[in-house]
Structure formats: structure tokens, C-alpha cells
Structure 1
Amino acid sequence: MADKLGFGVDIGGSGVKGAPVDLHRGKLADDRYRVPTPVPATPDAVAEVVREVLDHFGWRDPFGCTFPAVVQHGVVRTAANVDPSWIGTDGQKLLENVTGRPALLVNDADAAGVAEVRFGAAREHDGVVLVSTLGTGIGSALVTGGHLVPNTELGHLELDGHDAESRAADSARDRDELSWSDWAARLTRYYQHVESLFWPDLIVVGGGVSKHSDKWLHLVETRTEMVPAQLLNNAGIVGTAVLAAEHNHKKHHKH
């Protein structure tokens, strides 16, 4: 039996990347293709680029797409790093209309979280897993028993009178020129707060800074086991391809 393929597209602030995905192994089945994110990144302009990525591979089937915002049933509700005209847009419908293929649009941290639970650092873990991405902001994905609770915006918890991500994101480490240990102290404060609310069984930490986890992860004090993410840059593409394939399967098997 041929390995089942899916397709994932990752819309980011600087680039739109996509590739076919081996859904059994959770790996890219071909090299990623990347197109710079259009400026301004309006819905129509971005949708055209997504079509370009799909056409590059001659992909005609359903696909998944990540987006750096809250996405409720296909509709974009926030726009931190993209054009504000996305707010209120049914991004999923737009992608389907422009590309001519069935689409699933999901939050980028949610997609990465699903990939880590299926194929990465939390593989086969059936408890409550919090996948946390540290970057410009703090993204979060809450997965329990393998099922995603979508759009948890745990980077926006209030902490000591501040939006948590403004104090503890990787960008805050740069901005405030924090040493690894000073940053770890802020992360400790953040993760202990999250722990007291959600009591996860495992915390997986992703984002670019997870590549340097040996410098700071052991300094963060939590009662929950914390491990670095494994899929890194490909997590979004893999996770959204998996979610899209499952979404499509469900749609076709509704009785």
C-alpha cells in the first residue's frame, strides 16, 4: 500500500512554505517550497501565494494551512503579524475559492502542537499535553488524549500586570537583554502560573529558541516535566496536513 500523503502550508510573517507530508511517518515527503509573504499580506494576496505553493507540487487534493492568529471554524479572529483586513474573514472559504481545493485553516501553534503529540516530543502520550512555542509571542496548543482544544491563547494570560508574552517570549529576552538565567526566571513564573490553571502532564517547548534548550530549560522550575520540541520548523506543515486529512475523512464519513 502506498504511503498516504497529505499536504501542509505554513503561512508566516515572512514566508509561506508548503510541502507534501507522509501522514504515517510525520515527515515531509519532498523539499519545502517557500514564497515570501506578500506585502501587504491581505487575504487575497496570501491566498494567491498559497495557490502558487500547491501548484508547484501539482497538488490537487485537500490540504491544511496554518495561520498566525485565532481561527474559529475557518474564520480569522485576530491579526497580530498579518494585515488587519484578515479579521472577520472566512479564510478557509477564501482559500478553497482561490485554490479550487478543499482546505482546513488552523492556528499555527495548534498545528505544531498536534505534530509534536503525533510524531514528536509527546508521541503516544495520552494525557494532557501543553505545547508552548516561544518566539515573537508565546503560542500554545492544549492536546488531551490526542485531541486538540483549539485556540488557547495562553501567551496572553495576565502575569504581574502584564500580558505574559510581553515579559516571557523570546522577543522579550532579546529586547530586555536578559541572560539565560534571568529569562528562565520569567519563564518559571509563567509556566508555574499555567500549571496552576491547567495541570498538564507534560509541557513541550518549541519555537526557534528550543534549539538552545540546553542553555535554559533546566533552569525553569516546574512540577511538570518539560521537554524540547522535536519537529522544529516542519511542525506546522506536518500538523496541519494531519488535521486536514482527518477533517476531510470525517466530512466524507458523516452519515
Structure 2
Amino acid sequence: MGKSKIALGIDVGGTGIKGAPVDLDKGAFADDRLRIPTPDVATPEAVCDVVAEIARQFDLGKSTPVGITLPAVVTHGVARSAANIDESWIGYHAEELFEKRLGRDITILNDADAAGVAELRYGAARKQDGLVIVTTLGTGIGSAMLLDGVLAPNSELGHLEIDGHDAESRAATSAREREGLDWHEWAERLTTYYRRVEDLFWPELFVVGGGVSKQADSFLPLLDIRTPIVPAKLKNKAGIIGAAYLAANR
């Protein structure tokens, strides 16, 4: 029996939990996306209630692979950090929780890693050899490191210390909005960030995702770095698509 052509991806974010069936041949949604607001107190149980509701709405059958992203480091199905969700996730066996509630095998992974894999398989990093670093600019800075098509999970490059600051506290989209930075001011900070990353890892390509990637023309041309840098092709769909892909190919 061949691999499933359809898988369900669910992307857990700080403000919304989004899900859609994904056509794995096309790397595109097979149905309309469903979004439900993230609970104000985003404990594992509260988030699991929303995830279960999304899975019920699509009713794809028990054999359909399901991938779920978390804004957290995830190792062996356990959340090791908690970004924009409740701290009770730290040390929680998320995969076990979701599998019991949904009654099926679940693949759990970091949200930026899911986006990176989606860009690798279907988007801006497709057929790119060497090291590709995908960064997602939003509330924080997520990262995915892809070496010759293989994911090195949980890289957390948004937490590099630069000039005494956690990088994402100065260069994430949230910092631009919080401090009222114009595109040129923000680009200066992004240049500092990407220069540090490229000096450490010497990637072949940067791919920039997150909601702000829709405005890539406003800031990417302003960056002064040596590494080619391009916007993500899948935009905010990447987390869902990557989660679905990895669930079907685990």
C-alpha cells in the first residue's frame, strides 16, 4: 500500500490554531483552512480541545496521518520549551496527550521546523543543495536548518545573543511593531542578525517566512548580507503543509 496522498496538518500558534487537509502531491490545501482562536490560557488540555475540534470538522478517517506543530522545542514527543503558550507545556508529553484524545498516531514537531520542511519540499528551498536556513519572523524568530534535504530539528537560532540581547527581542516582527521601527530601521537590525547567523553557519540560502514575508519587497532588498535571501513561497500555509508532510513520511 502506498503512502497517503492526503494528511491533516494543524499549526498551533499564540493567537490561533489552524488546520487543513493537505494534498501531498501538490503541497497545497485540499480543503478550506479552519482557524479557531488559541485559548487565553493555552494549557495542554485546552489546546488539545481545540485541536480535537479541528480534526473532527474534517473527519478524514483514522488512517489519515496527522501532524501538529507547537511553538516549542519538541524532542521524542515531549515539549521542552513554551513560546507564546502556557508554561505548563514544558516537560509535557504532548504526543501522548494528542494520541489519546484523537485516538490515532500523531506526529508532533516544532512550528518553524514544519515550515522549513514545507519550503524544502514544495517552496523556495526546493532542489537547493547545501545548508538552507529558514527563518520565520513573527512574535519571535523561528528557525529550521536543512542540510542537503535533511532537517536538523530544534535549532532555535532566534535565541542567539547579539549585543547582550536575545536576537528575537530586537529583530522579530513584534519588535518592529512594538518600537514603531520603519523598514530601514528594522532592516538594520535584521542585517545584524543575519550576519551573525551566516558567520556561524555559512548557509547557501536564507528563506524568510512568517506573516511579514508577504511584504518582503519592503525589507529584504535593504539587507546588507552576502548570503542569498528570498521570501518563503508558502507564506503562513507552510506550518500546516510541513506538519502534514512529515506526518505522512515519518
Find the counterpart in structure 2 of residue 58 from structure 1: 59
2:181 alignment counterpart:
178
- The Cα offsets for residues 85-126 of structure 1, whole Å up to 9 and x where unpaired, read as 111101011100111011011000100010011111111212
Deviates more, 1:53-62 or 1:181-190: 53-62
Partner of 1:251: none
Specify the code of the residue in structure 2 equivalent to 1:238: I
Tell me the TM-score normalised to structure 2 length.
0.95
Alpha carbons 1:135, 1:171 under 8 Å: kept: yes
Residue identity opposite 1:46 in structure 2: V
Q: Measure the CA separation in 2 of the matches of 1:33 and 1:215.
A: 29
* Corresponding residue number in structure 1 for 2:46: 45
Q: Which residue of 1 aligns with 2:7?
A: 6
* Cα shift at 1:34: 1.7
Q: Which runs of 4+ in 1 moved over 4 A?
A: none
Structure 2 counterpart of 1:236: 239
* 8 A contact 1:3–1:22 mirrored in 2: no
**Structure 1 residue aligned with 2:206:** 203
Which residue number corresponds to residue 103 of structure 1? Answer: 106
Instruction: Identify unmatched segments of 5+ residues in structure 2.
Output: none
> Does 1:22 pair with 2:23?
yes
- Is 1:89 the equivalent of 2:89? no
Whether the 8 Å CA contact 1:202–1:225 is kept in 2: the answer is yes
Q: TM-score, normalised by structure 1?
A: 0.94
Asked if the contact 2:209/2:236 (under 8 Å) is kept, the reply is no
Residue identity over aligned pairs, in percent, reads: 60
How much does 1:3 deviate? 7.8
| Preserved contact between residue 120 and residue 149 of structure 2 (Cα < 8 Å) | yes
Alignment of 1:147 with 2:150, yes or no, is: yes
Q: Does 1:133 align with 2:136?
A: yes
The gaps in structure 1 that reach 5 residues or longer are 248-255
Query: Which residue of structure 2 lines up, in the alignment, with residue 160 of structure 1?
Result: 163
Q: Report the CA distance between 1:80 and its aligned residue.
A: 2.1
Tell whether 2:236 aligns with 1:226: no
Mapped to 2, the partners of 1:180 and 1:62 lie a distance apart of: 41
User: Equivalents in 1 of 2:57, 2:201: separation in Å?
Assistant: 42
The residue type paired with residue 37 of structure 1 is: T
Q: Deviations over 1:122-173 (max 9, x none)?
A: 1121221100111111110001111110000100000011111111111111
Aligned residues: 247
Distance 1:10 1:127 in 2: 27
* Aligned amino acid, residue 28 of structure 2: K
Question: Which deviates the most, 10-19 or 101-110?
Answer: 10-19
CA apart distance, 1:2: 11
Aligned-pair CA distance for 1:222: 1.1
Name the CA distance, whole Å, in 2 between partners of 1:169 and 1:79. 17
Q: Give the CA deviation at 1:62.
A: 2.4
Matched, 1:118 2:100: no
Distance in 2 of aligned mates of 1:66 and 1:12: 8
